[in-house]
């Protein structure tokens, strides 16, 4: 949310849990965005609880109940403990210390309580307010969650031999912790996926029909879709899957662009903005943890750098022959490690503009960050679709991904 920032506090907490590590700007902004999103969810949940009791003031008890409901057992227990201690220290210090200080100083917190109070006032029901200690309690809870994210992602970065926490480290930290994964169940954009190749694909052989599909949707080509399937851990692909994928991708894009344009029109804007895209995704119940400009203008992989990152020169120049099976698994592992976008951005850009032009000819301008947001979202959406579809194929004793597997996933999950 614009104007709300815990960045300074995040830096201090990082030094408390990992004094020798740094954090990239993209990762810092991403954690800030994740904390703000969690804060909003907690405020809205506690607001509903308060309304059930016909209270006009949001209390610490309401917030504690929301924490118990939304966070897992272990996280909620420690978060409630930290929040209770912060409130007790705040009240004691206010009585003991006579000079005026910031509220976070009384409570011994690193995050600003004023930022949390602003977040509460922006998301609380109209004509409602909150008790003074509610903001202190929520600030302590968010600070504890940030410490958990930073500690886990810092361990991941150190295991990889790096001194900086990146967005991919945040993804690994979330996916490795079941409770954090439950809280942040949406897409963490620009981070790739956790490497995972099914054991059956490592042991058995399989194949796919070899024929070409000439139809395409404005440059969404077979190699681009193939790269997404490799990222999902798919080893063998039916030629019919590409046409099915293009259709699904376009239908998903139409939903997002339609909502984005509707929101822009409601705001009386002539340009579709990044914020419109976030709100459009929220309407589709798609949670996004991202920061403006990443991936995209802050993406680590641009132009020829993509090739050098994916296929280092030392490996490209080697002319020794490899077995197809070994080489294909190597390619899958490479695409699972990279956080680069895999579809050509120019083709996605053109497709979004064509869809937008069909929906509303009056809106022809799109913010660059909006384009990158939608690009990253559709890639993560397709990868998740392929990952579920290959499980269905394996359940049917097949190694080759087919269109019927994807359709069954859509039917089951209503994706």
pLDDT tens, 382-415?
999 999 999 999 988 899 999 999 998 888 876 4
Q: What percent of the chain has pLDDT over 70?
A: 87
| Bridge partners, residue 138, by sequence | none
d(CA 114, CA 315): 53
Number of neighbouring beta carbons within 10 Å of residue 169: 27
203 band by pLDDT with thresholds 50, 70 and 90:
low
Can you tell me which residue has the tokens 């976070």? 104
CA-wise closest residue to 252 among 146, 109, 370, 385: 385
Mean pLDDT over 70-99 rounds to 89
d(CA 383, CA 8): 35
d(CA 7, CA 31): 9
**Domains of the chain (ranges, CATH numbers):** 7-185 (1.10.20.10), 199-413 (1.10.20.10)
CB 378 within 8 Å of CB 415: no
Using the predicted structure, report yes or no on whether residue 378 has a pLDDT greater than 50: yes
318 band by pLDDT with thresholds 50, 70 and 90:
low
CB 143 within 8 Å of CB 109: yes
Higher pLDDT, residue 105 or 297: 105
Mean pLDDT over 364-382 rounds to 91
- Say what the pTM is: 0.74
Q: β-strands 57-58, 129-130: how paired?
A: parallel
d(CA 354, CA 45): 39
pLDDT digits (tens, 9 = 90+) for 131-171: 889 999 999 999 999 999 999 999 999 998 899 999 999 99
Cis peptide before 172 (omega within 30 of 0): no
Most confident of 92-96, 183-187, 215-219, 266-270: 92-96
pLDDT of residue 208: 45
CB 149 within 8 Å of CB 170: yes
Cis peptide before 105 (omega within 30 of 0): no
d(CA 349, CA 219): 10
């Amino acid at each position: 949310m614009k104007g709300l920032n815990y960045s300074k506090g995040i830096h201090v907490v990082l030094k408390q849990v990992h004094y020798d590590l740094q954090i990239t700007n993209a990762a810092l902004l991403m954690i800030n965005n994740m904390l703000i999103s969690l804060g909003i969810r907690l405020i809205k949940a506690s607001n509903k609880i308060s309304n059930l009791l016909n209270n006009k003031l949001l209390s610490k008890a309401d917030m504690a109940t929301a924490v118990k409901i939304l966070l897992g057992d272990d996280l909620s227990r420690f978060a409630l403990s930290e929040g209770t201690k912060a409130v007790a220290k705040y009240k004691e210090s206010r009585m003991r210390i006579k000079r005026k200080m910031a509220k976070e100083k009384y409570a011994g917190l690193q995050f600003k309580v004023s930022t949390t109070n602003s977040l509460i006032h922006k998301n609380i029901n109209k004509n409602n307010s909150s008790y003074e200690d509610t903001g202190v309690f929520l600030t302590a809870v968010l600070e504890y969650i940030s410490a958990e994210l930073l500690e886990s992602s810092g361990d991941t970065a150190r295991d990889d031999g790096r001194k900086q926490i990146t967005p991919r480290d945040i993804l690994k930290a979330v996916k490795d912790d079941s409770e954090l994964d439950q809280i942040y169940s949406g897409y963490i954009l620009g981070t790739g996926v956790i490497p995972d190749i099914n054991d059956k694909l490592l042991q058995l052989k399989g194949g796919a029909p070899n024929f070409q599909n000439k139809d395409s949707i404005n440059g969404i080509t077979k190699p681009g879709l193939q790269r997404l399937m490799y990222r999902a851990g798919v080893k063998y692909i039916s030629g019919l899957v590409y046409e099915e994928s293009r259709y699904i991708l376009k239908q998903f894009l139409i939903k997002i662009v339609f909502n984005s344009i509707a929101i822009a029109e409601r705001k009386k804007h002539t340009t579709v903005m990044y914020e419109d895209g976030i709100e459009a995704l929220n309407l589709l119940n798609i949670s996004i943890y991202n920061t403006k400009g990443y991936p995209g203008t802050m993406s680590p992989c641009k132009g020829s750098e993509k090739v050098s990152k994916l296929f280092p020169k030392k490996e490209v120049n080697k002319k020794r022959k490899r077995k197809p099976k070994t080489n294909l698994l190597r390619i899958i592992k490479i695409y699972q490690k990279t956080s680069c976008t895999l579809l050509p951005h120019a083709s996605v850009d053109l497709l979004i503009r064509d869809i937008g032009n069909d929906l509303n000819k009056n809106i022809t301008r799109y913010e660059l960050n909006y384009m990158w947001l939608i690009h990253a979202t559709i890639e993560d959406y397709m990868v998740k679709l392929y990952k579920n579809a290959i499980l269905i194929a394996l359940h049917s004793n097949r190694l080759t991904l087919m269109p019927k597997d994807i359709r069954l996933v859509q039917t089951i999950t209503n994706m």
